């Protein structure tokens, strides 16, 4: 155990009191050993990585924080071998990355080496171990596009397990790791496109084909075009900075958890009830399977022979703004505010309490619900706080 400190110093929102205790092992084996000791103490425990997606109550946490700070990027030996079919040399590279490695430092490392696949995820704060938990995504890329597997210390078995991508239930800002599978991500394995061979012909290391209109527009190219990796990274960082989504101590909007609300996914019937100007993106043809507790069951479920229910993703930012909550909004006397650059982010303007953040979030949720009947969901993990 090491001296506990206020969690406001370990999280990007800069709110939260101290835990009862904290461990911060720096090697993977020590992380395994010390985590098993903590689990054997029958105490409450909280897993913390880069702290960019966690908002902790002012009273702190009555338990032990397992702070993941392990570092290291390893190129796996089989990266240059033929692909799984044996058809010629692979143009792929596989990396095993320690969970505590800062995500954006990994992206910078990959871009520097000409490895494409995560360049549009530049500037996302937090650690690599947390990336699959949230299935981080931005500007047309998600970690699920490149993730091969994770090494996972299971709370249930106490053993280290390898979980393949297909086992992780990766979806829009979610995974089985977020939905109840308990344990610690020790390392992630990624497969990226090694552009070295084509760079010798084209004279440049090009990123993956662009999938996001705003990014393509900012680059002055068409969707599907490929642009030099470093140019993509620089443009993404500039776009994120314009929304206050890059950690920058000189930016008054920087102390936040990034997007505080996820874009809601609703049925097509609900989407049709919104104004025609509401941005909408069709998602999938059917509702995903889900378990419904028996006490909540009221005949919910597909009707035999009925048409499949279509899902639509809405813009949380649009819903917030159209409900009357503007950029820079704050409740009277509060030091928590909506970002002056983007309504999806709530910020600590200096000296805000966690309760002030929660009060503002409740107000935003209430305005959107009252205006449109849509329930927004918070993106960060809330510790000791309820909305």
- DSSP state, 89? B
Known catalytic residue at 156: no
* Distances from the Cα of 294 to the Cα of 176, 297, 302, angstroms: 21, 5, 16
Alpha carbons 78 and 76: distance in angstroms, whole number: 6
Contact 206, 198 (CB under 8 A): yes
Helices then strands, each counted (H, E), the chain:
9, 19
Rounded Cα gap, residues 113 and 216, in angstroms: 23
How far apart CA 168 and CA 7 sit, in angstroms, is: 29
Asked if residue 15 lies in contact with residue 352, where contact means CB atoms within 8 angstroms, the answer is: yes
Q: Give the C-alpha separation, 123 to 240, whole Å.
A: 7
Other CB atoms closer than 10 Å to residue 272's CB: what's the count? Answer: 12
**Residue among 326, 328, 329, 314 nearest 373 (CA):** 314
Nearest to 340 by CA among 201, 271, 225, 242: 242
173 noted as active-site residue: yes
- Among candidate residues 92, 173, 226, 367, the one labeled active-site is 173
Catalytic pick among 101, 189, 191, 379: 379
Nearest-angstrom CA–CA distance, 102 and 126: 6
Q: Phi and psi dihedrals of 291, rounded to 5?
A: -90, 130
CA nearest to 373, candidates 272, 261, 285: 272
Q: Indicate which residue of 256, 259, 323, 339 is catalytic.
A: 259
Interatomic CA distance for residues 351 and 201, integer angstroms? 54
Hey, which residues are catalytic here? 173, 259, 379
């Amino acid at each position: 155990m090491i001296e506990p400190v206020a969690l406001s110093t370990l999280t990007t929102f800069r709110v939260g009191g101290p835990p009862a205790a904290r461990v911060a092992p720096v090697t993977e084996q020590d992380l395994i050993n010390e985590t098993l000791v903590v689990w054997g103490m029958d105490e409450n425990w909280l897993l913390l990585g880069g702290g960019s997606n966690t908002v902790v109550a002012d009273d702190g946490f009555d338990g032990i924080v397992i702070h993941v700070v392990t570092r290291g990027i390893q190129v796996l030996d089989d990266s240059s071998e033929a692909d799984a079919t044996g058809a010629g040399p692979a143009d792929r590279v596989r990396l095993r990355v320690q969970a505590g490695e800062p995500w954006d430092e990994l992206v910078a490392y990959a871009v520097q080496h000409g490895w494409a696949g995560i360049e549009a995820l530049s500037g996302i704060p937090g650690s690599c171990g947390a990336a699959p938990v949230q299935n981080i995504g931005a500007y047309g890329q998600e970690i699920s596009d490149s993730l091969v597997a994770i090494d996972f210390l299971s709370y249930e078995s106490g053993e280290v397990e390898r979980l393949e991508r297909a086992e992780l239930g990766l979806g829009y800002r979610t995974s089985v790791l977020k939905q109840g599978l308990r344990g610690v991500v020790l390392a992630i394995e990624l497969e990226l496109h090694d552009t070295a061979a084509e760079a010798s012909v084209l004279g440049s290391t090009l990123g993956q084909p662009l999938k996001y209109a705003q990014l393509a527009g900012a680059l002055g190219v068409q969707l599907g075009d490929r642009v030099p990796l470093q140019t993509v990274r620089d443009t993404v960082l500039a776009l994120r900075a314009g929304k206050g989504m890059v950690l920058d101590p000189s930016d008054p909007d920087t102390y936040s958890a990034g997007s505080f609300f996820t874009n809601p996914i609703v049925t097509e019937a609900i989407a049709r009830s919104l104004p025609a100007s509401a941005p909408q993106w069709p998602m999938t043809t059917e509702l995903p399977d889900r378990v419904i507790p028996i006490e909540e069951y009221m005949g919910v479920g597909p009707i035999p022979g009925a048409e499949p229910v279509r899902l639509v993703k809405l813009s949380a930012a649009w819903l917030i703004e159209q409900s009357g909550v503007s950029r820079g909004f704050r409740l009277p006397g509060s030091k928590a505010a909506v970002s002056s650059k983007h309504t999806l982010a709530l910020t600590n303007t200096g000296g805000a309490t966690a309760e002030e953040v929660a009060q503002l979030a409740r107000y935003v949720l209430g305005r959107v619900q009252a205006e449109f009947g849509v329930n927004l969901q918070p993106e960060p993990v809330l510790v000791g706080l309820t909305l």
